[in-house]
């Protein structure tokens, strides 16, 4: 059964963001995403994250998305 497109990943990302900021008291959260993973990019953006930089790892182009608390 396919679960794509039902918003579960976004819901999980928002819950992780809340936990990271409130329970763990992190000031910044980071997500590293392969540039070709458009679904993960959309989830990060829906969670309020912004693209911070691009780098290469093991021959793959990666984005760093982040969000700060405050």
Q: Indicate the domain borders of the chain.
A: 8-68
Report pTM: 0.87
**Distance between CA atoms of residues 23 and 17, nearest Å:** 10
Per-residue pLDDT tens digits for 16-64: 999 999 999 999 999 999 999 999 999 999 999 999 999 999 999 999 9
Q: Give residues with Cβ within 8 angstroms of 9, minimum separation 6.
A: 39, 40, 43
Pairing of strands 28-34, 50-57: unpaired
3-class secondary-structure state, position 2: coil
How far from each other are the two terminal CA atoms of the chain, in whole angstroms? Answer: 39
- Write down the pLDDT at residue 1: 55
Identify whether the C-beta of residue 45 lies closer than 8 Å to the C-beta of residue 56.
no
Architecture label for domain 8-68: 3-Layer(aba) Sandwich (3.40)
């Amino acid at each position: 059964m396919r679960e794509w497109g039902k918003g579960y990943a976004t819901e999980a990302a928002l819950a992780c963001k809340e936990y990271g900021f409130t329970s763990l008291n992190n000031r910044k959260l980071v997500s590293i995403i392969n540039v070709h993973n458009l679904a993960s990019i959309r989830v990060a953006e829906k969670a309020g994250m912004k693209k911070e930089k691009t780098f290469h790892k093991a021959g793959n182009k990666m984005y760093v998305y982040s969000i700060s608390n405050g």
